[in-house]
Structure formats: structure tokens, C-alpha cells
Amino acid sequence: MNEMKQNNAKLRLWQERLAENDGAYAAFSDRFDRREELFRGSREVSGCADGDKDRVAKHVRNIVAELIEAQVDANIPAPKVTPRRAKDEALAKIIEDMLRNELDRLPFETLNDMMERTVPIQGGAYFLLEWDNTLGGHDTAGELTVAALHPKQVVPENGVYTAVEDMDYIILKLPQTKAAIRRRYGVSVADSAEAEPGVRSGGGESEAKDMVTQYVAYFRNDGGGIGRFSWVNDTVLEDYEDYQARRLRRCESCGAAEPAVFPPAPREHENDGEREAALADVCPRCGGRFVERGEDFEEVWLPRVSTHGVVIPGARWEEAAPAAKEGEDSTEHEAKPVLVPTRIPYYKPDLFPVILQKSVSVFGQLLGDSDVDKISDQQNTSNRVAAKILDKLLKAGSFATLPADAMLRTDNEEMKYIRLENAADKSMIDVYDMEGTIEQDLTVYRQVYEEARDIIGITDSYQGRRDTTATSGKAKEFAASQAAGRLESKRVMKNAAYAKLFEAMFKFRLAYADEPRAVTSRNVNGDVRYDAFDRYDFLERDESGEWYWNDAFLFSCDTSASLAANREQMWQETRLNLQQGAFGDPADVDTLILFWDKMARLHYPCAEETKRYLQEQKEKKERAAAENSLRPGQMAAAAPLFDDTASTMEKGR
């Protein structure tokens, strides 16, 4: 009963926090849907004259979408890990390779594509990093999962605008199916309605029968760790004060850990289902009840060696005097040896799993500046002018003047005629061409578009369009680099977000990946190298004998990754290096083999076949040269034998 009251009190507390911060956040969140609507091509025209208040443009040039799409960068930042100590170079390399493997395993192409549009539209978006114990392979338990969150799905703590790490709590709104809630938490929410269907998309959404809105609050506990509280409507799903700590089920009475498998003792008058339910939480040692609680230390009973040679001793015998009874002197009892395991502290990330990627930083605002907000006036003016131009063109045409009593034949016959009363009426027949003048409108239309491009910093060269101001290749390259420089801030913020994400991924692996995980990379020769990420390789012991985890690594992004991802540019650079003799004599076969090996690593078509052909030709020449070098020696060795044979034949005659 007390536990239920406590849960109800916490639920009311978090519901109040959600309502309070959601209301304070409304000044920003109310614009989310409007920005998405403009990106999709809103036809609304606002701020017009009194007679045009409800006007809707029939034809729209979507400037917002055009300029947002021009900035999309499909390149995923590559991790760069720098050790703080020289002896950790090998570990830093393993972390880099592990992160590169994770970028390939996880759907980062899809995530990056979504973030590349959401971030400039809304000014920012979030990554959600979690460890899912239900994933993994045959010999591994758990894997990392990464999801992209729209800003409307995140409610930050009011008043904290610097960073997520500076908040005491942050609340997520996650659309989930009722079946998914039941599978994960074992709780039925079949009778619950979807509280906020609008968080599922950028437009108005109606309530879905099988959906609910799950609220997840991450908060900083008193010890500096991360807690998690989750609910759907009035149903509590999770309540963890220290969510990122290792949790283990232990007996309340004797403290024994719950065994993985133990044979249940049969009871009378119970069927199998009742017996399993009765023994599910029963300790086989003392009959006490198992409860889940956080663990600070891992107990190692048997010695183990990590993948790269870190030795962790197992249990050891220690002298321990038994507890003296009341009224007895403890010195009268002899000390008895006790088997004590090696205690290793569990690693905890102690960081929020929500990583913000800003567009550009703005003082006093958590999210960055929205590109849509910057050019929304230009989009509206463009819509208005486009509607005016279209009206002028469509309403223009030819008009005829006729006498009032003239009869005009209007059937489908080729020959048309007009009946006139007299010859004087003929002078009243005339045709007038009414043409709408749109030169000034087109000038304004173009000017508005140029304004929008100038605000964002997009040029013709950056868009790959014809640039009449650049008359040479170098000039075009310079113009493109200038445009790239104006957008460099957004790239820096993207790299900063990925650097935080890489660090969090490493710390989650260090905390929860108990088994060694296979890691693949390539050596300097281009051959595949197989290694392993073993978290115990990062376990060290200080001078006092205490175990601790080495997480002293610096995380950033490899700035050369964008060039490496541009294969055509890399092919050209590699050819240029060959021609300039950077690999050696371009006519030498070893140089050509090295060149085609690098081209194969850059995925140049048929490069691997060319490399093998050159290697085979080289081997044939080497064998032929070896055979030619042996022939003079073989002839000299065979000459005495030939002479002896000839003399023997002569004697036989």
C-alpha cells in the first residue's frame, strides 16, 4: 500500500512538471507545426489587403524547401578518438573501429537524412541513445539503439538554455503501440487513449486506436546519476532512481543473488502454473523473496584474462574472525579463512541519453535558430506575388465589341457570320487584346528569392547552378568555398553533436557490454583486420590496489571524412598522386599494384581485378627470370655427365 501511494505521489509530481514545462515551452513549440507546413509547401497568403484576407495561392515556388534541401549533407561524420596517455593508443584505435562498425550496423543513413532536414527547419533535433537488453546475438546480450527525436517530442526543463547536460530533468513524449508497452513492461494499457497524437507527425493527427503516448522523464538523482520515470496517462511503467546502474535480483533475507536456473521443489496440491508463480520470487537457500536492486560492484570468483591481456584475479582466502556472541570476547574465537571474490566497481555512464544537435547557437534559446523563421516573410511575399502574377496572366485575353443588335453565329461550323442591321454597324466591330503587365511583379519575385538565399547563405555555385559571376573553374571553386564558409557553423554544430554521441556510445558499451564484441577494420595494406572490443581492457588498478575504469579519451569527428566519402574526388586525387610520382615510378609494376590497391579500397569499378592481373603478371615474370637464372648452372652441372656418357658409349663400340 505504501509503495502504491509513493508511486501515485511521484506520478502526480511528474505530471505537474510536464504540464508546467510544456506550458512554458509553448512559445517555441507552437511554431513547430507551422514550420513543417512551410517546408511541405504552404499555399497560405497572409498579411494581404482587406479584400484578400483569406486568399490562397494556386501556384507556389517552395523557397523554404529549396534552400533547406540545398544544405543537406549526406555524409555521416567519422569518429576520431584521441587518448590522453601514450600507452592508450591501441585502445583508442579499438574504440574508433568499434564506433565505425556501429555506424554501419545502426541505420545512421536514415537518421542523418531525417536530422539534415529537421535541424535547419526547427533549429535543432535530438538523438536518443539506449541500451536494449533484448537485442544481441547467440553469445552476446544487449546492443545499442539510436533514434532521432523531433523537438516536439522533447520537453526541456524551463529556464535552462545552455545544454541538456545542465538540466535536472528532461521529459520525452514517445508514441508507442499498446502491444509494445505490454511486451516491454508487462503492463496492459488497452483501455488508455492516446494523449498527444500530434507528436507522431508534423501536422494535425487524429487519435489512433492502438496508440498511446508514453512519457519518459530522465532526471539527475542526488548522487549525480541518471534516474528514469515513465508513465502512460495514469499508469506508471518505470520508476528507477538510478536507471543506469547495474540491477540484480537478490534475496531480501540472506542477500543471495537469484540463480539463473534452479529446480523448483514440488509442493502438494499445486499444478505446474501455480508452483511456478509461487516459486518465481522464492530464494532456494532461505525461502526469502527476491527483489531487484542496484549493484555497485561486480564479484569475480574465477580468474579471467581480457582479450588484450588484462588479468583479473578471482576469489582469494582471507582470515575473518567469526562474530562474537553477546557477552563474549571476540579474541577467544579463532579466525577462520573466508573465500572473498574480487570486487570490481560497475561502470556507470551518468549522462543523459538525449543528445541535442543544433543548427546554429542562439543566446537564451535551447534550440538553434530556425532557417524557416528567417525566410518565412520571403516565402509569404513570394506566394502573394506568384498569386498576383498568375491572376494577371489568366484574366488577360481578347475582347470584341459588337453592335447591340448584332447576331453572332456560335456553332461548330467553320464559317462564322454576324448579322448586322446596316452597314454603319460594321465600324463598331473590333477586337482588343488585354495583356497583364508582369515585369515589375517578376522583378519583385526574383528579388524576394535572392533575399531568402542571401539570408541563408546559399549561392549559385553552392547549388550547382550556372554562375555568371564566376568565369573560371578557380573562380567557381572560390565562390563555392565562400558559401561553404558561411554554412560552416552548421557543420561544426553537427560534428559537435556526433562527438557527444560517439562518447555516449563508448560509455554505454563500457558499462553494459559484458562479452567481447567483434570489431573489424583494415590495415595499411587494405587487408581486413579482426579484433575485439572487450570492456575489461579498460580496467586498471591504481597504486592503492583499487580497480577503476579508464575512460580518459577525447572524442571528435574526422574532418577529412567528407573528402573520403567523395569517391570521384578521391579517384582524381589518387590518379594525380600516381602521375606526380607520389607512389614511386608510374611505369613500375609495384607502383601500379599499389595504385590499383588504393583504387580498390576506394571502390573503383574493376580495380580489384586489375590489381590481381598485375600481380599475376609480376609473378610470371619473376618465375621466368628465376628459370632463366638457373639454366646456365644446370647446363654446367650436366656437362660432366654428358662427357662420361659419351666416353662410355665410345668404349662400347
Query: What phi and psi values does residue 86 have, to the nearest 5 degrees?
Result: -65, -35
Q: What is the pLDDT of residue 157?
A: 97
Residue 309 or 353, more confident: 353
Q: What is the pLDDT of residue 264?
A: 42
DSSP per-residue string spanning 120-179: HHHSEEEEEEEEETT---SS---EEEEEEE-GGGEEEPTT--S-GGG-SEEEEEEEEEHH
- Of 444-448, 470-474, 566-570, the poorest mean pLDDT is in 470-474
- Of 155-164, 207-216, 287-296, 369-378, the poorest mean pLDDT is in 287-296
Across the chain, mean pLDDT equals 83
Q: What is the pLDDT of residue 569?
A: 74
Q: Sorting pLDDT into bands at 50, 70 and 90, what band is 330?
A: low
Percentage of residues of the chain with pLDDT beyond 70: 82
> Cell numbers of 564, please?
573520403
- Of 92-101, 262-271, 304-313, the poorest mean pLDDT is in 262-271
Query: Looking at the predicted structure, is the pLDDT value of residue 28 above 80?
Result: yes
Q: What confidence tens digit (pLDDT) does each residue in 110-152 have?
A: 999 999 999 999 999 999 999 999 888 888 899 999 999 999 9
Query: Looking at the predicted structure, is the pLDDT value of residue 631 above 90?
Result: no
CA nearest to 530, candidates 224, 237, 216, 307? 307
Residue 23 or 600, more confident: 23
Mean pLDDT of 159-173: 96
Q: Sorting pLDDT into bands at 50, 70 and 90, what band is 214?
A: very high
Q: Are 63 and 452 in contact (CB under 8 A)?
A: yes
Q: Are 211 and 218 in contact (CB under 8 A)?
A: no
Task: Work out the angle at residue 15's Cα, subtended by the Cα atoms of residues 10 and 17, and round it to the nearest 5 degrees.
Answer: 95
Q: What is the pLDDT of residue 495?
A: 95
Q: What is the pLDDT of residue 276?
A: 44
pTM above 0.85, yes or no: no
Sign of CA dihedral 372, 368, 502, 566: positive
Q: What's the rounded Cα separation, in Å, for the pair 17 and 281? A: 35
Q: What confidence tens digit (pLDDT) does each residue in 379-390 have?
A: 999 998 988 888
Each domain of the chain, given as residue ranges in start order, spans 398-434, 566-653
- Of 73-77, 346-350, 352-356, 507-511, the poorest mean pLDDT is in 73-77
Q: What is the pLDDT of residue 287?
A: 78
How many CB atoms are closer than 10 A to CB 301? 11
Q: What confidence tens digit (pLDDT) does each residue in 391-439 have?
A: 888 877 777 788 877 777 777 777 777 778 788 778 888 877 777 788 8
